[in-house]
Structure 1
Amino acid sequence: MPKNPFLPSRSSVLGRGSYGEVLRIGAILRKETVGGILLVAAAVIALIWANSPVADSYFALRDFRIGYEPWHLDLSLGAWAADGLLAIFFFLVGLELKREFVAGDLRQFSKSVVPIAAAVGGVAVPAVIYALINLTSPETLQGWAIPTATDIAFAVAVLAIIGSHLPSALRIFLLTLAVVDDLLAISIIAVFYSSDIQAGPLLLALIPLALYTFLAQKYRRFFGAKPAAAWLILLPLGLLTWGLVHASGIHATVAGVLLGFAIPVIRSAASGGPAAGPGLAEIFEHRFRPISAGIAVPIFAFFSAGVAVGGWNGLGAALTDPVAIGIIVALVVGKPAGILGTTWLLTKATRASLDKSLKWIDVFGMSLLAGIGFTVSLLVAELSFGHGSIHDDHAKVGILAASLISALLASSVLVTRNRQYRAVEAEESVDTDHDGVPDVYEEDHRA
Structure 2
Amino acid sequence: MRDRTPPSRRAARLFSRSSWPEARHLADVLRTETVGGALLLLGAVIALSWANSPWADSYARLGDWVPWPGGVRWHLDLDLATWAADGLLAIFFFVVGLELKREFVAGELRDPRRAALPVVAALGGMLLPALIYLAVVRTAGGQGLRGWAIPTATDIAFALAVLAVVSSHLPQGLRAFLLTLAVVDDLFAITIIAIFYTAEFHLVPLLAALAAIGLFALLVQRGRTWWWVLIPLAVTAWALLHASGVHATVAGVLLGFTVPVLARRRPDGSGTAADGSGPTGGTGADGGDGLAAYLEHRWRPVSAGLAVPIFALFAAGVTLRGTNLGTLLTDPVVIAIVAGLVFGKSIGIFGSTYLLARFTRAELDDDITWADLLGIALLAGVGFTVSLLIGDLAFGAGSVADDRVKTAVLTGSLLSAAMASVVLARRNAVYRRVAEREQLDADGDGVPDVYQRPSDG
TM-score, structure 1 length as denominator? 0.93
CA distance in 1, matches of 2:31, 2:399: 36
Cross-structure match for 1:65: 66
Q: Does 2:317 align with 1:301?
A: no
SS in 2 for 1:435: coil
> Please, which of 76, 79, 85 is the counterpart of residue 79 of structure 2?
76
Greater alpha carbon shift after TM alignment, 164-173 vs 267-276: 267-276
* SS of residue matched to 1:430: coil
Residue 165 in structure 1 maps to residue 169 in structure 2:
yes
Structure-2 change in CA distance of 1:139 and 1:270 (3 Å): farther
Aligned-partner Cα distance in 1 for 2:154–2:393: 17
Is the Cα–Cα contact under 8 Å of residues 167 and 424 in structure 2 kept in the other structure? Answer: no
- In structure 1, the partner of 2:277 is none
1:111-155 deviations in Å (ceiling 9; x for gaps): 111111111111111111101111254440110000011112111
Matched, 1:114 2:117: yes
TM-score normalised by structure 2 residue count: 0.91
Give SS of 1:33's match: helix
Would you say 1:378 and 2:392 are equivalent positions? no
Partner of 1:331: 341
Uncovered stretches (5+) of structure 2, i.e. residues with no partner: 273-285
Name the amino acid aligned to 1:263: V
* Paired position in structure 1 for 2:220: 216
Q: Of the candidates 212, 234, 239, which is equivalent to residue 238 of structure 1?
A: 234
Aligned to 2:47: 46
Show the 5 A alignment for 1:5-404: 10-67=11-68, 68-136=71-139, 137-219=141-223, 223=224, 227=225, 230-269=226-265, 274=272, 276-311=287-322, 313-404=323-414
Q: Secondary structure at the match of 1:384?
A: helix
Instruction: State the AA in 2 paired with 1:41.
Output: L
Change beyond 3 A, Cα 1:100–1:444: farther
Change beyond 3 A, Cα 1:444–1:29: farther
Give the superposition deviation at 1:2: 6.0
- Please tell me the root mean square deviation across aligned C-alpha atoms, in Å: 1.8
- The CA deviation at 1:236 is 0.9
Distance in 1 (CA, whole Å) between partners of 2:96 and 2:145 is 27
**Helix, strand or coil: the match of 2:404?**
helix
Partner of 2:279: none
> How much does 1:106 deviate?
2.2
Asked if the contact 1:127–1:148 (Cα under 8 Å) also holds between the matched residues in 2, the reply is yes
Q: 5+ unaligned residues in a row in structure 1: which ranges?
A: none
With over 3 angstroms needed to count, the CA separation of the structure-2 counterparts of 1:295 and 1:61, relative to structure 1, is: same
Structure 2 CA distance for aligned equivalents of residues 17 and 423 of structure 1: 20
Q: Spell out, residue by residue over 1:155-213, the C-alpha distance to the aligned partner (whole angstroms, 9 max, x if none).
A: 12223332532211111011011111111001000000001111110111121111111
Q: Distance in 1 between matches of 2:8 and 2:328?
A: 52
SS at match of 1:333: helix
The 8 Å contact of residues 39 and 154 in structure 1, kept in 2 or not, is answered as yes
In 1, the alpha carbon distance for the partners of 2:135 and 2:88 equals 33
Q: Distance in 2 between matches of 1:296 and 1:445?
A: 47
Deviation at 1:444, TM superposition (A): 9.4
Structure 2 residue 434 is matched with structure 1 residue 424 = yes
- Aligned equivalents of 1:444 and 1:338: distance in 2? 39
Query: Percent identity, aligned pairs only?
Result: 55
**3-state SS, counterpart of residue 423 of structure 1:** helix
Q: Mean alpha-carbon deviation: is it higher for 349-358 or for 337-346?
A: 349-358
Q: Residue 53 and residue 104 in structure 1: after superposition, are their counterparts in 2 closer, same or farther (change >3 A)?
A: same
- Structure 1 Cα separation of the partners of residues 235 and 368 of structure 2: 44
Q: How far off is 1:4 after superposition?
A: 4.2
Q: For residues 17-71 of structure 1, what are the alpha-carbon distances to aligned partners after superposition, in whole Å with 9 as ceiling and x for unaligned?
A: 1111111111111111111111111111111111112111000001111232221
Over 3 Å counting, the alpha-carbon distance change for 1:394 and 1:438 in structure 2 is: same
Structure 2 residue matching 1:265: 3-state secondary structure: coil
Residue 12 of structure 1 deviates from its aligned partner by: 1.1
Alignment partners' CA distance in 2, 1:157 and 1:326: 25
The amino acid across from 1:253 in the alignment is T
| CA apart distance, 1:268 | 2.5
Query: CA–CA distance in 1 between the matches of 2:74 and 2:6?
Result: 59
> Secondary structure at the residue paired with 2:168?
coil
